[in-house]
Structure 1
Amino acid sequence: MTTEGGGRGVLDGAFDLLETLSRAEHGAGLSELARDSGLPKATTHRLLEQLVARGAVQRHNQRYYIGRTLARLGRGWQPDPALRRASLVPCRTLARLTAAAAMVAVLDGGEMRVVAGAGTGAENSQHLSIADERVVRTAVGQVLLAAQPPHLLPPGYSWREWKRVRDRLTDHSALAIDHQDVAPGVYCFAASVSTRSGLLASISVLFSHQAPPKGTGELVARAARDVTRTLSTL
């Protein structure tokens, strides 16, 4: 295999550069990238030009940034492909029965990721940081974070307040309900979903400036059971 700089493969060098760029919020220059990736400057320049040509990297005013092609490919990544497959039909059914946006989200590192959705606006917020107090106070955020170890305190909560939330959600069949608590006119119901991979997951339905119909809580709980049951067969 063709190697670059110290016996590393070309692909190794390219991924080292992309990894370095992913941490550079304001882009990086050639010398900075060569230093941080540990590649010779000539090799760094050659690889960058190849990556720019493929759209994986973009260049602006002698600085380099993650490119559109790489960003597009990254959106296809799934933290749990089986969960997405199991969620598609229950999400569509829930959205149809409630005339609202339904989605399944997981807690992946420091982000809440939507893995499946149905209804208008269901997948508009693909990645939300759990460092955002508004996110952790949503019904979805409460369900996901309540399954974490008890010594972890989400931002914006006191220990006493968070204990009340956790105690309310310890039962897997329990619902978190947000009645305009985070934003005026927004209602959200969320329930936990059990996954085989160990990821924390929830299914929820979101109403914007419309009152939830009667029986919404049971519909969400049923959808959670459907996702869990389908997962067990995959």
Structure 2
Amino acid sequence: MNTVLGKAMTVLSAFTADDHGVGFAELQRRTGLPKATLHRLLTELVEVRLLDRDDSRYRLGRQLFELGMRASVERGLIEVAIPFMEDLYERTHETVHLGVREGTEVVYVTKIGGHRQASSPSRVGGRMPLHCTAIGKALLAHAPDELRTEVLAGPLPRRTPRTITAPGLLANQLDSIVEDGVSFEFEEAAVGIVCVAAPVLDAADRPIAAISATGPITRFRPQTHATQVRAAAAGISATLARRSQIDSTQL
């Protein structure tokens, strides 16, 4: 990306969901940009509020959040999903996630968790590989055949001792997910964390998103909440379909 816009995107993309402030030297290491170029871009990004600067450290600015919330697809999805997520949280009292697929990764678009929520690796705006998360497997199971083939062709990075890295085993799980309507994760993305998820599908059974309930293995039994998670996903799907019909009649 040799254009100014491309270089600016390189800088913004260098921040991760876990960053609370990144110094100049670390940003140069992540971006590979010359010092003078990086300094000029950082100054301009701060001026337009896409970045905030605190002493010598930088973080993504509030303006980015505001722009992101204007994205029509995600905004509409979140507005519809929140009541179902809140209901699922009241039923499970565990962390509830909503995620969408981007390439071969899950992007977490929102989450609800109480005071005792599990310490999971997910962050709003964060990403995880499809193959090692319940949301990811729910999305992958209903994805186009080409994507499933791509993911199963590997590699399947191991994040914990229980991450599924055998393509045949993962393929069998994906087939079961399509049949059962729910997916499970047992300490595959983080040790001590278990999860159950279900896909939010459109009228053609294409995955729009997926919803999950996540908790610590010491107290959460995902199998006992499969019906509730499946119902929440179905409710989001039905509401989105109704909205789509109303919008089409108003055109």
Per the normalisation by structure 2, the TM-score is 0.64
In terms of mean alpha carbon deviation, does 180-189 or 158-167 score higher? 180-189
Q: Does 1:113 pair with 2:104? A: no
Deviation at 1:125, TM superposition (A): 1.5
Match of 1:204 among 212, 217, 238: 212
Q: Corresponding residue for 2:134?
A: 139
Bigger CA radius of gyration: 1
Deviation at 1:231, TM superposition (A): 0.7
Q: Corresponding residue for 2:27?
A: 26
Could you say what secondary structure the match of 1:169 adopts?
helix
Match of 2:184 among 156, 177, 180: 177
Q: Corresponding residue for 1:188?
A: 195
Distance of 2:60 and 2:91 partners within structure 1: 40
> What amino acid does structure 1 have at the position aligned with 2:149?
H
CA deviations over 1:160-213 (Å, ceiling 9, x no partner): 112211221223x52112344554542211111114796542111112231338
In terms of mean alpha carbon deviation, does 145-154 or 194-203 score higher? 194-203
Distance of 2:189 and 2:61 partners within structure 1: 33
Unaligned residue ranges in structure 2 (runs of 5+): 15-25, 158-164, 244-251
1:75-86 alignment runs, 5 A limit: 76=69, 78=71, 80-86=74-80
Contact 1:22-1:66 at 8 Å conserved across structures: no
Q: Does 1:88 pair with 2:82? A: yes
Q: Corresponding residue for 2:162?
A: none
Deviation at 1:223, TM superposition (A): 0.8
Q: Identity over the aligned pairs, expressed in percent?
A: 21
Distance of 1:125 and 1:107 partners within structure 2: 15
Change (3 A) 1:195 1:86: farther
In terms of mean alpha carbon deviation, does 86-95 or 74-83 score higher? 74-83
Q: Does 1:231 pair with 2:240? A: yes
Unaligned residue ranges in structure 1 (runs of 5+): 1-12, 34-43
Contact 1:108-1:199 at 8 Å conserved across structures: no
Q: Does 1:68 pair with 2:61? A: yes
Change (3 A) 1:51 1:83: closer
Change (3 A) 1:18 1:212: same
Per the normalisation by structure 1, the TM-score is 0.68
Q: Does 1:220 pair with 2:210? A: no
Number of residues of Structure 1 aligned to a counterpart in Structure 2: 205
CA deviations over 1:114-161 (Å, ceiling 9, x no partner): 22332235995221231xxxx622322211222232312151433311
Distance of 2:187 and 2:4 partners within structure 1: 47
Q: Which structure's residues are more often helix, by fraction?
A: 2
Could you say what secondary structure the match of 2:221 adopts?
coil
Contact 2:196-2:223 at 8 Å conserved across structures: no
Contact 2:50-2:60 at 8 Å conserved across structures: yes
Could you say what secondary structure the match of 1:116 adopts?
strand
Q: Does 1:151 pair with 2:149? A: yes
